[in-house]
Amino acid sequence: MPKRGMLIVLSGPSGVGKGTVRKEIFSREDNTFHYSVSMTTRKKRPGEVDGKDYFFVSKEEFEKEIENGGMLEYAKYVDNYYGTPLKYVNEMLDQGKDVFLEIEVKGAMQVREKVPDGLFIFLTPPDLMELRQRIINRGTDDLATIDKRMEKAVGEIEMMQNYDYAVVNDEVPKAAEKIQTIIRAERWRVKRFLPDYKKQLGLDDDQQ
């Protein structure tokens, strides 16, 4: 059976650039990660594609998925549900593939409880004014929604301490490079040291 893949969680306030940085990482030739497409009840934005950007569903459909135990995590964010379908993540990890989630902080903390050996990276803006400007420049939200997202952002940034790493998204290629370096280093650490710890503790793979 292949070794279980690594679960990588990229989190941070809305508008910090998680999607942009993720796309930069995925566009690189050496990318081996598999992106988990989230489910949401939010309305589709112009240009967004169902099944690629999100699975767009109704509130009833989302709640049914929750009831059926189909979500790894979920959260209500500014009047809508967002969540990670469990099936895809489990199937990929079981096949030994590394899975990349891009989610907000409440959901990330649920994943942390369920998958403690995941890698949790927080993407943070250079400052709050820049964050607001990025959301405005994106042109997807009205002013009332931007204010709601900014209110959330303050509390979300305080959650940074609960992550394994924090990366400032000042420039997209630089932030992408830092994240790739962190993941490479973590992979190496797990491969290099975990077998030694297991040996010292008298554990074999089946006991883990």
Ligand X SMILES: Nc1ncnc2c1ncn2[C@@H]1O[C@H](COP(=O)(O)OP(=O)(O)OP(=O)(O)O)[C@@H](O)[C@H]1O
Ligand Y SMILES: Nc1nc2c(ncn2[C@@H]2O[C@H](COP(=O)(O)O)[C@@H](O)[C@H]2O)c(=O)[nH]1
Q: Which residues does the annotation place in the binding site?
A: 12-19
For residues 163-192, which are near ligand X according to CB under 6 A?
169-172
Q: Given 3-state DSSP classes, what are the helix, strand and coil percentages for the chain, each rounded to the nearest 5?
A: 50, 20, 30
128-138 vs 143-158: helix crossing angle, rounded to 10: 140
Q: Of the candidates 73, 69, 92, which has an alpha carbon nearest to the alpha carbon of residue 81? A: 73
Which part of the chain contacts ligand Y (CB under 6 A), choosing from 79-87, 159-167, 182-190, 191-199?
79-87
Q: Is 15 in the site for ligand X (CB under 6 A)?
A: yes
Q: Of the candidates 79, 83, 88, which has an alpha carbon nearest to the alpha carbon of residue 65? A: 83
Q: Is 169 in the site for ligand Y (CB under 6 A)?
A: no
Residues 30-69: x where in contact with ligand Y by CB under 6 A, - otherwise, as a string = --------x---x---------------------------
Residues forming the annotated binding site for ATP?
A: 12-19
Half-sphere exposure of 73 (CA within 13 A, CB side): 21
Which part of the chain contacts ligand Y (CB under 6 A), choosing from 88-96, 98-106, 117-125, 126-134?
98-106
